[in-house]
């Protein structure tokens, strides 16, 4: 296993490198239930009440909901200066190291939410922080 999930007082739960992870490593797959865009919209409304959503958009029509059958990858936090990217191959999403990651570092992905959806404020602290987790 490349990672461990830990609580940090800054981000709540996060995913950290358990060992050194070389650039290009496929760390894990973003697993979960394959759902339609309509079902995603329904769940987003539902989740707005509880505040937690683990839905990753796969393509125009489908998404993966990590809340159902998901693994630790769903706890990867957002940064505008990420060290991991989601690579989509067919109906799978793989989290791949964008650079060498040192043991103990937290993993971050750029959520890049739809620019037309509700702005989600970002406080990641990166020098290039966009101020929102949405794509520009």
Closest CB 135 distance from Zn ion, rounded Å: 12
- Span of 20-28, 33-41, 97-105, 126-134 interacting with Zn ion by CB under 5 A: 126-134
124 makes contact with Zn ion (CB under 5 A):
yes
132 makes contact with Zn ion (CB under 5 A):
no
Site string for Zn ion, 67-106 (x = CB under 5 A): -------------x--------------------------
Quick one: CA torsion of 80, 86, 135, 13, rounded to 10 degrees? -50
Q: Which two tokens stand for residue 77?
A: 């936090």
The residues, ordered by sequence, that sit 6+ positions from 12 with a Cβ below 8 Å of its Cβ are none
Are 68 and 33 in contact by the 8 Å Cβ rule? The answer is: yes
CA atoms of 36 and 39, how far apart (whole Å): 5
Single residue of 27, 58, 97, 122 touching Zn ion by CB under 5 A: 122
109 makes contact with Zn ion (CB under 5 A):
no
Residue 125's Cβ-side half-sphere holds a number of Cα atoms within 13 Å equal to 4
Q: Which residues bind Zn ion (CB under 5 A)?
A: 80, 122, 124, 129
């Amino acid at each position: 296993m490349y990672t461990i999930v830990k609580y940090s007082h800054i981000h709540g739960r996060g995913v950290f490198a358990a060992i050194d992870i070389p650039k290009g490593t496929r760390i894990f797959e973003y697993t979960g239930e394959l759902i339609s865009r309509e079902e995603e919209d329904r769940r987003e409304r539902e989740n707005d009440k509880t505040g937690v959503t683990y839905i990753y958009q796969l393509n125009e029509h489908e998404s993966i909901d990590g809340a159902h059958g998901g693994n630790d990858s769903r706890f990867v936090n957002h940064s505008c200066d990420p060290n991991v990217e989601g690579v989509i191959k067919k109906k799978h999403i793989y989290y791949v190291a964008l650079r060498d990651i040192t043991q103990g570092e937290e993993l971050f992905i750029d959520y890049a939410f739809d620019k037309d959806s509700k702005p989600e404020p970002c406080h990641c602290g990166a020098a290039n922080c966009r101020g929102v987790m949405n794509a520009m």
